[in-house]
Structure 1
Amino acid sequence: MVGDDPALQAAYLLCRARTKQQDPAEYALIQLVPAVLRPACWALWTAANALDDLADDRTAESEERAARVGEWISALDHELATGTSTDPIRLALVDTAWRWRLDISQLHNAMTLVQHDAHGRQFTDWSSWRAWGRGNLLPWFDQVRDLFDRAGVAVTLRLDRQDVYEQFLDGVRLTDILTDLSADLAQGDLLLPGQSLDQFPGSADDLEQRRWSPSTAGLITDLTGLARRWVTQPALTRGMHPGLATVLDTMADLLRAQLDAVSAAGPTLFHAPPRPSFVTTARLLAPARARAALAWSLTEVTVPPPRRPRHDTVLTQRPRAQRPAFRSPPPHPSGERPPQIPVDQMPTHVAVIMDGNGRWAQQRGLPRHEGHRTGRSAAYEMVYGALEIGLRHLTLYAFSTENWKRDDEEIGTILALLHQELREYPLEDLDVRVRWHGRPDRLPQDVIDLMRMRESSTRDRSGLTLTTCINYGGRDEITRTATALARRVRSGQLDPDLISETDVAQHLPQPDMPDVDLLWRTGNEQRISNFLPWHTAYAELYFTADYWPETDRRHLWQAISEYTRRQRRHGAPLTAVVSHEPQQP
């Protein structure tokens, strides 16, 4: 579905032709997804390949190749703002971003890596190799995941299976390198880690000379076996939509067939890319097409909405003043504006325990879960109020590890509301970076996946950082931190006698979260309830009697105003604080 614009139709047809010609296996996989999603997949794949082609063009010097990649990225940045392009591949990518409301700013780092690749790459160990490969692949795969989510089909990948997901992509990258070994060697590139080459003495020299030897034969056998293990990940598609599972399972089958071809190539591996036979490929694809067609026929897939400008979609990190404006928060119905707080008196981080939802509902003869439903409006109000007053960090305590003790209906309603909020995402047009803090254990897979997707799509925003604590416990956080420190001590990387507060802070699950300046709790209770114990060590505590559904942004402003009247001493005598701090108005 690309509309009636002839230039746009031609752009997508070019992407389709490029995909089919340059990577028939990728094209076959895209044919397994619903037809409405295929043009976007062609555009994403072709754009990634076009950048690789610019970086690999050996008719130009490395500096010129890097400059061309940089120009391509800069042009895309400008075109995303205007919604059009004179380059057909970028035109298809821009249209995909606008049409599906994709935030492709997360591709910036991956594209920059390609620009660096123009100067050549060498890897000493598997760790640096993985960082490079994942930096290249993960953002593009995440775009496809976001695309499916926009179409109403969440790609369920549990956070506790993140290592499975990443290892699968390691297998994709290694298979690709082994397949293209002849082309890379011809260009003087050897994209294998020295750690692996060292296990087979002489293999590096033999590869550079394209000489088949016992060392190179042993190396190829070892690497194909490793790639085969990485792409064979049964847990990857467990619990996933059957259509998506078919695509990924077929992808794994095709990768294994490709590795069989690499193993069988012998010395010819140095002269031409090996490919599976037509019969082998057809044997894998025929049943996959039937399974995918059946799965998608039973699924309602959302068609792309009308094109709307994506003013927040940029690739480069511009100075804040030069970035396109986000939507301003809606004004408070009363017309009241936030107080003017001097910058040096503003808290950096406010954390809120949103208490009293259930009691608010019970006072009105309603089920407890109706209080949580009503409390959503108060949460939005706090975000609006934080943006208006200029707060940098707001953390909301939504669901604790202890909340699993509550009634099943109440828990189910809370999780259903979370899922609805994450899918509808009414904060999308605001300058808000979204983060989740907590454990994946016991949370529904679709909620986890949506949280991860929202984190990824907003990670480059620089306004308010909104952290939602879901399935979070403070003691659990400290226990996990102690476990991480113990692992480093056991590995010899850390001296237990020299562990400092800085070491502890760096091993927290959210090491970049600033200390809490103000902890506010509603609901007429005066305790912190296992909430951010490390970060609230020096927080000002503020308790109010209002139940959470009764609050709005003005209560946040009152809390911040109260904070400005507190003396922040951090253990210093009052006279010292008075002499060094500006006087309160």
Structure 2
Amino acid sequence: MRTHPHAQPTPAPFDDVRPARRGRATGRAVVGEDPLLRAAYALCRRTTRAHDPAIHALVQLMPAVLRPACWALWAAASALDDLADRPGVEPARRAADVESWTKALEHDLAVGASTDPIRHALVDTAARWRLDLSDLRGAMATTREDARGLRFADWAQWRAWCSREVAPWVEQVRHLFDQAGAPMTLRLDRQADYRHFVDGAQLTDTLTDLSTDLAQGHLLLPREAMEPFPGAEEDLIRRRWSPAVAALIAEMTVLGRRWLTRPAMTRGMHPGAAIVLDTAAGLMRLQLDAVDAAGPTLLARPPRPSVAARARVLLPARLRSAVAWSLTPLTVPAVRPAAAVVVKTSGPGPAAEDAGLRPPPPHRDGARPPHIAADKMPEHVAIIMDGNGRWAQQRGLGRQEGHRVGTAAAHEMVYGALEIGLRHLTLYTFSTENWKRDTDEVTTIFQTVQHELDHGPLRDLNVRQRWSGRPDRLPEDLVHALEREEHRTRDRTGLTLTICLDYGGRDEITRTAAALAQAARVGDVDPRLIGPDDFARHLPHPDMPDVDLLWRTGDEQRTSNFLPWHTAYAELYFTPDHWPDVDRRDLWQAITEYGRRQRRHGAALTSSEHQRPSPHTQPDSRH
């Protein structure tokens, strides 16, 4: 992450750390009684303010309980930047030092403490707020490569670097807001605005740090941006101000302002989070004004806006944010054992946390699964989780509230599947037809899935997570989280949980047919000999077994374009309860009912089956 002194430092005593309104805890209560830990967080605050006063000012607009965690994150990023950018040190040595720091962090997270104060604060933050720092692996590796020099051919390469370098750190801050109960909601219909805003922030950073980066041999503006200004690239490398450079800088500041000005971006967001982002945009526009006004001195030192200009942006924001957070009850998590949080920075492979997987929590009433004979046990159960919206509307709530509450039922299905020994469970979460729904409802569904992937209780279970659906229409962050969890849990041996997201059965068959046609075109298969096995091999998950039991809640009796290839011989099971009202006992009841059915796959009944009496219906253990 490139950091820069955008603004003048402002006093921020460490003891001002206390949650807004609820609890009125002191800074000591927030970060613990350990004096070493308090000193570590205090150093992180000072480091953040020294490296990036604008970031420090923005952190002061956040809920007080989140500030130490934000200081720890930004101080860690700054420490890595310092190692990568040290003047007079060979690139190989700088890269090795970054690698050494990240390996030390991996060790510190495993043991739950560190002799380095910044890493010590980061370890505590990760444990306290349950952050998965393995998401930072790519950013740390990118910082290590930064030490060897950077050049970009076009905007696409530049954006890819920004995404790897900066986005993972920012995502950790978003996770903090989520954990505190004030999510920084990103609306589905504003994804382009968010991407442009991030581009504008990074371009502002690039222009501000131009003199520092040039001194280190970095020219971070892409060649594509400099080509319309002949001679500008060579002049910048020589640190020579010229008409071409002046025109280039003017063009870049106009572009930066256009990217940063996204008035609709924070619509529907929590007011406190919206104030933070709006203020960030205001400060960065001030910074671009300072870049414009710097002239030739831009190549000698980073420009800074005036104290008065900053005050015009920050003072109203501080008043508004204080009111917003005072009206918001926030969640302060209990301290978790730091050793349970592990980051792997050295490369791919099974996560170290897999060795400490926990069993599913018991049912709240102590219910235990029934005994099911092996030959009566389905291998694969698929569920259409219907009735969330109707459940909420019957209670006078918005439909999106039903999806949030329905998450607990999904947890119950996984717990019950693990307890009874089910091998495969597939949940229909969002169909290709669900895009017709209200944007707020769609956004809530995706946010709920994202939160579950990042922080949900299934992460620590022996569950291999997979997903099926179209990635091209989903939010990029959600796709990354789905892919991350699929990779992270790939070696787990318990339940295989498949989430169907933007999934449609006809769409899956169409895309599989296209893949099969392409295989025939290049000669991989003989089109005259194509059979069902050839088709199955070209499905998104060729190893997914056929569905034995398809269960739908919500008092509807249709399959709704769900897994048509896999459910050709599935037993159908429909129940009237809306999805938020079910728990693991309903799954066990469905599996019990499945065991009573005679599955012949087209064969005739034997004489013994004709004579066998129908089993009596067992009482539902719920009633």
**TM-score of the aligned structures, taking structure 1 as reference length:** 0.75
User: Which residue matches 2:3?
Assistant: none
User: Which residue matches 2:488?
Assistant: 461
User: Which residue matches 2:241?
Assistant: 212
Q: Which amino acid aligns with 1:194?
A: R
Maintained 8 Å contact 2:450/2:478: no
- Whether 2:41 is the aligned partner of 1:12: answer yes
Secondary structure at the counterpart of residue 237 of structure 1: coil
Secondary structure at the counterpart of residue 521 of structure 1: strand
Please, which of 203, 218, 224 is the counterpart of residue 195 of structure 1?
Answer: 224
User: Which residue matches 1:490?
Assistant: none
Q: In the superposition, relative to structure 1, how do residues 195 and 389 fare at CA in structure 2: closer, same or farther (>3 Å)?
A: farther
Deviation digits for residues 396-452 of structure 1 (CA, Å, limit 9, x no counterpart) = 12465768999x9xx99x9899799959944243254476968999x9xxxx99978
User: Which residue matches 2:179?
Assistant: 150
Q: Which amino acid aligns with 2:258?
A: R
- Whether 2:350 is the aligned partner of 1:320: answer yes
Instruction: Map residues 251-266 of structure 1 onto 2, 5 A cutoff.
Output: 251-266=280-295
Deviation digits for residues 325-363 of structure 1 (CA, Å, limit 9, x no counterpart) = 22123579557789889xxxx98x864335799999xxx
User: Which residue matches 2:253?
Assistant: 224
Query: What is the deviation of 1:22?
Result: 1.8
Secondary structure at the counterpart of residue 569 of structure 2: strand
Please, which of 163, 166, 172 is the counterpart of residue 201 of structure 2?
Answer: 172
Matches of 2:434 and 2:246, distance apart in 1: 57
User: Which residue matches 1:49?
Assistant: 78
Please, which of 76, 82, 96 is the counterpart of residue 105 of structure 2?
Answer: 76
Matches of 1:239 and 1:372, distance apart in 2: 18
Q: In the superposition, relative to structure 1, how do residues 8 and 377 fare at CA in structure 2: closer, same or farther (>3 Å)?
A: closer
Q: Which amino acid aligns with 1:201?
A: P
Matches of 1:222 and 1:56, distance apart in 2: 27
Matches of 1:185 and 1:417, distance apart in 2: 40
Maintained 8 Å contact 2:272/2:325: yes
Q: In the superposition, relative to structure 1, how do residues 379 and 182 fare at CA in structure 2: closer, same or farther (>3 Å)?
A: closer
Q: Which runs of 5+ in 2 are unaligned?
A: 1-29, 392-399, 526-538, 603-623
User: Which residue matches 2:610?
Assistant: none
Matches of 1:274 and 1:404, distance apart in 2: 46
User: Which residue matches 1:529?
Assistant: 560
Query: What is the deviation of 1:52?
Result: 1.1
User: Which residue matches 2:414?
Assistant: 383
Matches of 1:236 and 1:195, distance apart in 2: 28
Q: In the superposition, relative to structure 1, how do residues 392 and 123 fare at CA in structure 2: closer, same or farther (>3 Å)?
A: farther
Q: Which amino acid aligns with 1:89?
A: I
Secondary structure at the counterpart of residue 383 of structure 2: strand
User: Which residue matches 2:279?
Assistant: 250
Deviation digits for residues 63-90 of structure 1 (CA, Å, limit 9, x no counterpart) = 2211111111111112112211011111
Deviation digits for residues 277-324 of structure 1 (CA, Å, limit 9, x no counterpart) = 111111111111111111111111222323334525323356438543
Q: In the superposition, relative to structure 1, how do residues 155 and 403 fare at CA in structure 2: closer, same or farther (>3 Å)?
A: closer
- Whether 2:548 is the aligned partner of 1:517: answer no
Secondary structure at the counterpart of residue 181 of structure 2: coil
Q: In the superposition, relative to structure 1, how do residues 390 and 210 fare at CA in structure 2: closer, same or farther (>3 Å)?
A: farther
Matches of 2:499 and 2:238, distance apart in 1: 56
Instruction: Map residues 333-348 of structure 1 onto 2, 5 A cutoff.
Output: 334=368
Maintained 8 Å contact 2:112/2:337: no
Query: What is the deviation of 1:498?
Result: 7.8
Query: What is the deviation of 1:457?
Result: 8.2
User: Which residue matches 2:613?
Assistant: none
Q: In the superposition, relative to structure 1, how do residues 267 and 383 fare at CA in structure 2: closer, same or farther (>3 Å)?
A: same
Please, which of 92, 96, 106 is the counterpart of residue 125 of structure 2?
Answer: 96
Q: In the superposition, relative to structure 1, how do residues 234 and 542 fare at CA in structure 2: closer, same or farther (>3 Å)?
A: same
Q: Which amino acid aligns with 1:217?
A: A
Matches of 1:420 and 1:140, distance apart in 2: 16
Deviation digits for residues 473-518 of structure 1 (CA, Å, limit 9, x no counterpart) = 5567899x89xx9xxxxxxxxx9x989999xxxxxxxx96657432
User: Which residue matches 2:587?
Assistant: 552
- Whether 2:302 is the aligned partner of 1:267: answer no
Maintained 8 Å contact 1:440/1:471: no
Query: What is the deviation of 1:466?
Result: 3.6
Maintained 8 Å contact 1:350/1:517: no
Query: What is the deviation of 1:28?
Result: 0.9
Secondary structure at the counterpart of residue 177 of structure 2: helix
Paired residues, number: 521
Matches of 2:264 and 2:389, distance apart in 1: 38
Deviation digits for residues 206-240 of structure 1 (CA, Å, limit 9, x no counterpart) = 00111111111111111111111111111221111
Maintained 8 Å contact 2:370/2:588: no
Secondary structure at the counterpart of residue 306 of structure 1: coil
Maintained 8 Å contact 1:137/1:169: no
Query: What is the deviation of 1:525?
Result: 8.9
Q: In the superposition, relative to structure 1, how do residues 53 and 374 fare at CA in structure 2: closer, same or farther (>3 Å)?
A: closer
Q: Which amino acid aligns with 2:350?
A: R
Matches of 1:74 and 1:566, distance apart in 2: 56
Q: Which amino acid aligns with 2:128?
A: R
Q: Which amino acid aligns with 2:48?
A: T
Matches of 1:113 and 1:395, distance apart in 2: 36
Matches of 1:374 and 1:166, distance apart in 2: 30
Greater Cα shift, 329-338 or 239-248: 329-338
User: Which residue matches 2:144?
Assistant: 115
Percentage of pairs with the same residue: 53
